[in-house]
Amino acid sequence: MNITIYDVAREANVSMATVSRVINGNPNVKPVTRKKVLRTIEELGYRPNAVARGLASKKTTTVGVITPDISSMFFAELARGIDDIANMYKYNILLSNSDQNIDKEIKLINTMLEKQVDGIVYMGGQIKEEHLQQFNTSPAPIVLAASIDPSQSTPSVNIDFEQGGYEATNLLIDNGHKHCAFVMGTNEATINELKYQGFIRAHEEAGLTFNEDHLYRGDFTYNSGIEAVEKFSKLDQKPTAIFAATDEISLGVIHAIQDQGLSVPEDIEVIGFDNTKLAVMVRPTLTTVVQPMYDIGAVAMRLLTKYMNREEVEEANVILPHQIIKRNSTK
């Protein structure tokens, strides 16, 4: 049998309530008593049972984190931001991968709620009615990180993706390009669509008509970038600049261009999105829209702590600033 608070109480000649107070740092304990209890805790090698504590206090000090795929650099970085802040507030992270599968997402939320998490940080490509229904009936607060709820009814932390796409495209247009291409990920991703909308708005404002042939829908991978360029190269009207929805796609784009004997940025300019560490791990280094992944995770977790503590929240839908870092893939 394990050592319980009761064993400690007996050995220290106090009541379990006193032991509990010592463990929880309750000031209402005489220093002498506290010392005595602390010593016998040490002696017995007592380790508090957080599950029992959770049952009695209705707080588990763990938060659920639902991510599409932790092996993606993007979400891994977000998760790191979440965990660091969680730790700061004494929470632990119950992490799960959803693969953007809606059934799995719903199931995961329920599992975490059964496990009585104090809150959830949710990441996912598309928020649908089913999600919202779960979010709205959840007994624990939920915050979205780098995920868009079109209804704006769920607290969230994001950047302005449409504006990011707009600015990236404008950089290309300002450099004189009239034929910009956009390589996007799956259309299951709201964020993706937002970047595209920005891309389109930039064209409209510049009075440029966008050639639909210059849109490539891939799946966010390096290979998508390669395939996009291969497709573009067969066109009569080839794009002279390419905006890729992520850095990883951008690397594929750059390498495919180079494999064809062309140069970046001389022949074709390329701009990415995210500023993952990949951006400086290519030649030429990548001009890209900076998305502060770590910060989004950190701020989302911080926001969640406010809800968990029932603190006042001034703004439920946080938009973090973004910027463009110019490197060598654009002129």
110 counts as binding DNA under rule CB under 7 A: no
- C-beta contacts of 97-105 below 8 A and 24+ residues apart: 97/67, 97/68, 97/69, 97/70, 98/66, 98/67, 98/68, 98/124, 99/68, 99/69, 100/68, 100/124, 100/125, 100/126, 100/188, 102/128, 102/130, 102/131, 105/66, 105/131
Say how far apart CA 214 and CA 235 lie, in whole Å. 9
Report the nearest approach of DNA to the CB of residue 252 (Å): 49
309 counts as binding DNA under rule CB under 7 A: no
Residue type, 144: L
Three-class DSSP category at 319: strand
Report the nearest approach of its own copies to the CB of residue 110 (Å): 7
111 counts as binding its own copies under rule CB under 8 A: yes
Q: Which does 28 bind (CB under 5 to 8 A by kind): DNA, its own copies, none?
A: DNA
Structure tokens at 182: 């956009």
Angstrom distances, CA of residue 185 to CA of 145, 189, 219, 223: 19, 7, 4, 11
| Segment contacting its own copies by CB under 8 A, of 155-163, 182-190, 266-274, 280-288 | 280-288
Say how far apart CA 253 and CA 256 lie, in whole Å. 5
Which residues, 81 to 100, sit near its own copies by CB under 8 A? 83-84, 87, 92-97
113 counts as binding its own copies under rule CB under 8 A: yes
Say how far apart CA 238 and CA 177 lie, in whole Å. 11
Binding-site member from 235, 281, 313, 319 for its own copies (CB under 8 A): 281
Three-class DSSP category at 234: coil
Say how far apart CA 217 and CA 213 lie, in whole Å. 11
2 counts as binding DNA under rule CB under 7 A: yes
- Whether 70 contacts 79, CB under 8 Å: yes
Instruction: Draw the binding track, 52-91, toward DNA (x: CB under 7 A; -: no contact).
Output: xx-xxxx---------------------------------
Q: Of 60 and 126, which CB lies nearer to its own copies in the complex structure?
A: 60
44 counts as binding its own copies under rule CB under 8 A: no
Which ranges of 99-153 would DSSP assign to H, the alpha helix?
102-114, 129-137
Three-class DSSP category at 65: strand
Q: Which does 235 bind (CB under 5 to 8 A by kind): DNA, its own copies, none?
A: none
Binding-site member from 115, 150, 152, 267 for its own copies (CB under 8 A): 115
Q: For the chain, how far is it from start to end, CA to CA, in angstroms? A: 70
Report the nearest approach of its own copies to the CB of residue 241 (Å): 21
251 counts as binding its own copies under rule CB under 8 A: yes
Neighbouring residues of 23: CB distance < 8 A, sequence distance ≥ 6: 5, 41, 48
| Segment contacting DNA by CB under 7 A, of 29-37, 93-101, 103-111, 288-296 | 29-37
Residues at the interface with its own copies (CB under 8 A):
2, 47-52, 54-55, 60, 62, 65, 69-73, 76-77, 79-80, 83-84, 87, 92-97, 110-116, 139, 222, 248, 251-252, 255, 258-259, 277-278, 280-283, 294
Contact residues toward DNA (CB under 7 A) are 1-2, 4-6, 13-18, 20-21, 23-24, 27-30, 32-34, 46, 48-49, 52-53, 55-58
